[in-house]
Amino acid sequence: MKRLLFILIVAVLVGAFFTPAGTVMAASGTRSLPTSVDAGENFDVDISTADYGAFGQVVENLPAGFSYVSSTLSAAAVDADGQVVKFTLLEGDTTFRYTVTASGTAGSYSFSGTLKDEDKTEYDVGGDTQITVTAPSRPTPGGGGGGSPADYTETNLFGIEKRVRIDSDGEIQGTITATSEDGNLTITVPKGTIALDDDDPLESLEAAVDESPPDPPEDAHVIGLAYDFGPDRATFDPAITLEYTYDPDALPEGVAEENLVIAYYDEDADEWVELDSVVDTENNTITASVSHFTIFAIIGESRPAAFTLSSLAISQGEVAPGEKVNITISVANTGGSEGSCTVVLRINDVKEAEESVTIAAGSSQSVSFSVAKEEAGSYRVAVDGLSGSFTVAAPAPTEEEIVAEEEEEIVAEEGEVVAEEEEVVAEEEEEEEAAVMNWWIIGAIIAGVIVVIWLPVYFLWWRRRVA
């Protein structure tokens, strides 16, 4: 084992000794292109990179007539200037994809590009460089089988004209992505979407600013610009994506970010209809899916401050007399504007304290009270319909109180003994008195008996003497 370890150490040292100082792996980049695309079609270019260090940059030179559309990298990492598109990479970004629109002219075209590593050393991007653009072949009326390439959809989105292939079933053959001139609205129609106009493949897509959109609902505002998408009969399956960007500092008074929605105008009902929307308050975006075209806008409803109280908490369930109890409650402003709320604390149905707080729309704050009660007993706590309780325990007796209580018990016991003794004496005296009275009665009875017996005897004696 020791011999194997020694051999490994020697091998590492020898390798380090014979390796030229400063040798590093060369950066590399590879491009993947489709062999051919139709004129004006959107298609994807895949880029793979390696060993560029902590950061790098891919610079792509697009052929004449081709235009950059989008990328899987963040918008901040892309700088598109005509036919030159620069992609900034951070360590970990080894692959990405970007979408371009092909030239409207058929022919063979070449891509080229370089990869710069962290030392700004440039390397050619290898892989595919050639692509063929073919002219569309329009089918004759009534011809073509179901699902086969049939035609192009002409797009004029925010003033940018393009076209994308669509088959006879209305299936879009390339992803359509367009961003408004102000950068606040992006529409994405994924490849494979069925786009129809009265059950026929969609022939065109348009989008432009609506300078005079319909009035929003009462107490609501159109946020930013409204956009009119056409044709009005266009439908999409699955639904396509609209993503708006908004400026939170530009929102009208009383409109909260969380309450923003993307809405469309229903001309038949003459009203705005809200869509299920996802608001990202961190990135200030709002996204919704739409299945048809009409007028779209962000709608923000002005709502006054509204408060909800929750999470009543009492620090202790039982305390000693005079000990503080902390009572807290959460107050949330669910309205659309900043406002003030007065929180009232009641104990045993009597107002104990109150506190006013000012809370921004969509925010919450904790309100705390501290109370102390001297009298032992149970106390009911109530705040705006929320309730709880705490108990003040009776205090433990002091040593002096214990001694006094024992003395009272002793005195009480002695008093009971004295009372019992007095009661016994009284009973004995009553018995003695009763005994004396009984002898008098007996004597009287005996005397009566003697008299009763003596009188007849005396009378008899007296008669004999007279006789």
Q: Identity (one letter) of the amino acid at 101?
A: T
Asked which of 268-277, 373-382, 399-408 is least confident by mean pLDDT, the reply is: 399-408
280 vs 450 pLDDT, higher one: 280
DSSP state, residue 35: S
Joined together, the tokens standing for residue 248 give 């939170």
Q: Is 53 exposed, middle or buried (0-12, 13-18, 19+ CB in 10 A)?
A: middle
Q: Which residues of 285-298 are buried (b: 16+ CB within 10 A; e: fewer)?
A: ebbbebeebbbbbb
Q: Is the pLDDT of residue 397 over 90?
A: no
Q: Mean of the per-residue pLDDT values for the chain? A: 84
**What's the pLDDT score for residue 391?**
95
Percent of the chain with pLDDT over 70: 89
Residue 247 is predicted with a pLDDT of: 92
Task: Kindly state the average pLDDT of the residues 291-317.
Answer: 91
Provide the token pair at 171: 């299936």
Cis peptide before 190 (omega within 30 of 0): no
Which of 256, 273, 253 has the alpha carbon at shortest distance from 264?
273
Helices and strands of the chain, counted as H and E runs: 2, 34
Question: Would you state the pLDDT for residue 423?
Answer: 79
Centroid of chain to Cα 427: 88
CA-to-CA dists, residue 366 to 63, 201, 310, 327, angstroms:
61, 58, 10, 10
Which DSSP state fits 54? S
* Predicted local distance difference test score (pLDDT) of residue 199: 87
Asked if residue 139 has a cis previous peptide bond (ω within 30° of 0), the answer is: no
Please give the C-alpha separations between residue 127 and each of 44, 46, 98, in angstroms, as whole numbers.
15, 10, 16
Place of tokens 């991007």: 125
**Least confidently predicted of 35-44, 220-229, 239-248, 433-442:** 433-442
Q: Are 405 and 398 in contact (CB under 8 A)?
A: no
Higher pLDDT, 447 or 198: 198
Q: What's the pLDDT score for residue 459?
A: 75
Alpha-carbon Rg for the chain in angstroms: 51
For residue range 127-182, list pLDDT tens digits in order.
999 999 987 654 444 444 444 444 788 888 888 788 788 888 999 988 888 888 88
Q: What is the mean pLDDT of residues 32-56?
A: 90
In this structure, are strands 261-266 and 194-197 parallel, antiparallel, or unpaired? unpaired
DSSP helix/strand/coil, 233 = coil
Lowest mean pLDDT among 116-125, 126-135, 156-165, 447-456: 447-456
In this prediction, residue 68 carries a pLDDT of: 92
Residue, of 240 and 422, whose pLDDT is higher:
240
Q: What is the dihedral of CA 254, 255, 259, 265, to 10 degrees?
A: 120
Q: What is the pLDDT of residues 305-358, one digit of tens each?
A: 889 999 999 999 999 999 999 999 999 998 877 889 999 999 999 999 999 999
C-beta of residue 107 within 8 angstroms of C-beta of residue 82: no
